[in-house]
Amino acid sequence: MCGIVGYVGHRDCTDVLINGLSKLEYRGYDSAGIAVFNHNQKIHVAKSKGRLQNLIDRMNQDGKPTGCAGIGHTRWATHGEPSDINSHPHSGGRVTIVHNGIIENYKEIKDYLADKGVTFSSDTDTEVAAKLLDYNYNGSPIETITETIRDLEGSYALGIIFADHPNVVYAVRKESPLIVGVGENESFIASDVPAVLDYTKDYYLLEHEEIAVLTESGVQIYDSFGRKIQKELKTADWDVEAIGKGGYEHFMLKEIHEQPTAIRNTIMPRIKDGLPNLEECGITLDTLRNFRQIFIVACGTAMHAGMVGKYVIEKIARVPVIVDIASEFRYRNPIVGEGDLVIIISQSGETADSKAAMHLAKKMGAKTLAIVNAMGSSIAREADMLIYTHAGPEIAVASTKAYMVQIAVMYLFAFEMALAVGKIDEDECRRLVAMLEETPEMIERLLEKKEMTQYIASSLITADSLLYIGRGLDYALSMEGSLKLKEISYIHSESYAAGELKHGTISLIHDGMPVIAVATQKELFDKTVSNIQEVKSRGAKVILICRDSYEPETNTADLKFGLPEFDDLLMPMIAVVPLQLIAYYTSVHKGNDVDKPRNLAKSVTVE
Ligand code: F6R
């Protein structure tokens, strides 16, 4: 989603803005722009549709703004197509802004302003906010901002400059995230910490409707009534290397390789005496005994992690689990309330639908548990209980290591839950935990045999469409494998419960159509093999992900990726790795932009 950067300080502002925006590219965008106070104190705007490089090329051609204060933006189109005119910054006369989020009542405001004679040149809600700020402007930026935000409905993070207040940057947010970086004689605003890490690790987290003012002499923060407030300065524990590619061709490949470390960082602090211990997250055995049912609510990959969680929790703790897509949960009037636990899984902690689902669950009296990667994000701050995953920054749009640690947490949680409700004893729990602890090493070994996944990927690049099939936990995994492939390879793919195929979908199978069959569950193996034979005999080219020990007959599979022997329950932790690699190499073979697939955004902060 859109990225915001702002700067006031002694460096060349344009360089800082472009560098910061490049660190936010992972969020997904389709145009970029900056507004800088030039040395003559006039605002110079440069913007362009397309990649950041297009903006740089345009500035090289038309002249680069030079100054020491300004704002920058990468836009992910919501209102109006990606175009130069719709790109940010937008000006409303004396006010120029960049915006992340959606102003829901922009139409009413636009009509109101149009009645007053205000004209508009773009299709965006952002221009409406800029014009409203200008309309309300009374010479005092703080008063104008506090007055204007009362009229804005929806979500926003705004970076604002006023033509008659040169070299000062203002910022305000509601729902959409914004941090204020604090360096030596310089300050920053940004949608996310990586944008400022080259300059500082110290930052403030701006809360709802707080206003930041960045000047040469430092940062001041005000509340929504315009009163000065003091805030706690935080220090990022990420370093610059963590957000670099570290020698890998793509962030996605780097992040796939970081999975063993991410698992260790996430689970080890939560294991004491061989048993799960989630007390620091506010979860005890007593807490867990009292829930009558569990909802897991999330979007995309995080929802797929929830699917694995459902199978594992129900299998070993025998507590009912409903997995919901957050955008469905929030509008389907769910039967949820006191006595229920609602788990929200989110890498970014800012996903609009997941956040809204959490608010609804709280309102209806359920307890909420957030499983979140981004420190200090909205979902992390607002949930009743919180388990941070420690994947570190995930830059590739296609999530890999965040999914891995989400499922690792699902396992720990399920083990603790099963212990709490007396479905397993401590010895069994220790056995399960010990297996979970083995997974990083197993993944390390799997990552050494990538060739087969490269070969499988090369066989997929001409496909128009394919299916992923599996049963039980393998079905949950198939969902993730399929999403990963389609989002970065642009090949249509669906995941299907293997036993359900013959109720309609099997008619899609034609000669040579690839079917990726995940068959890691011993219990269900023979059943899945029967389903594989059904598609194989109709011409499908079957790629089988199964235990190494299984030697497929010719009527079962064309290609096989072999997995080591492991307990059925924990197989997803390792079986997802070849699925991620197949998606990755297919995208690479097709020459796609692996880390920044078209139309996608990393953090989906709008509905
Ligand atoms: C796919 C992917 C998305 C996210 C989804 C939720 O690779 O990354 O499907 O999982 O947008 O995002 P978070 O986890 O930030 O709530």
Domain boundaries, the chain: 3-243, 248-424, 448-586
Q: Measured from the CB, is residue 305 less than 6 Å from ligand 1? A: no
Residue 380 alpha carbon to ligand 1 centre in Å: 15
Q: Is 490 left (phi over 0), alpha (psi -120 to 50) or beta?
A: left
**Which CATH number is associated with domain 248-424?**
3.40.50.10490
pLDDT for 140-195, tens place per residue?
A: 999 999 999 999 998 899 999 999 999 999 999 998 889 999 999 999 999 988 89
Q: Residue 243 above 90 pLDDT?
A: no
Q: Using CA atoms, how far apart are residues 6 and 21, in angstroms rounded to an integer?
A: 10
| Ligand 1 nearest-atom number relative to CA 301 | 10
Q: Distance from the CA of 399 to the center of ligand 1, in angstroms?
A: 7
Answer whether 248-424 and 448-586 agree in fold.
yes
302 CB near ligand 1 (under 6 Å): yes
Greater confidence, 499 or 155?
A: 499
**Angle, CA of 25, 326 and 378, to the nearest 5°:** 55
- The residue nearest atom 9 of ligand 1, judged by CA position, is 300
Over the stretch 297-343, which tens digit does the pLDDT of each residue have?
999 999 999 999 999 999 999 999 999 999 999 899 999 999 999 99
Q: Which of 191, 251, 299, 358 to mutate to test the pocket of ligand 1 (most atoms within 8 A of CB)?
A: 299
Which CATH fold would you assign to the domain 3-243? Glutamine Phosphoribosylpyrophosphate, subunit 1, domain 1 (3.60.20)
From the CA of 300, give the closest atom in ligand 1.
9
CATH code, residues 448-586: 3.40.50.10490
Phi and psi at residue 95, to the nearest 5°: -120, 135
pLDDT tier at 37 (50, 70, 90 boundaries)? very high
Please identify every residue annotated as catalytic: 2, 602
Q: Residue 8: pLDDT above 90?
A: yes
> Contact at 8 Å (CB) between 329 and 354?
no
Give the Å distance between the CA of 293 and the centre of ligand 1. Answer: 25
In the block, residue with structure tokens 């022997």: 565
From 251, 347, 405, the mutation candidate for ligand 1 (largest count of ligand atoms within 8 A of CB) is 347
Strands in 228-229's sheet, in edge-to-edge order, are 90-91, 95-103, 154-162, 169-174, 211-215, 218-222, 228-229
The residue-averaged pLDDT of 549-554 equals 82
In this model, does residue 269 exceed pLDDT 80?
Answer: yes
Is ligand 1 within 6 A of the CB of residue 481?
Answer: no
What is the structure's pLDDT at 602? 77
Cα dihedral sign, 71-72-76-82: positive
Which of 368, 366, 408, 370 has the alpha carbon at shortest distance from 386? 370
Q: Whose CA is nearest to atom 6 of ligand 1?
A: 299
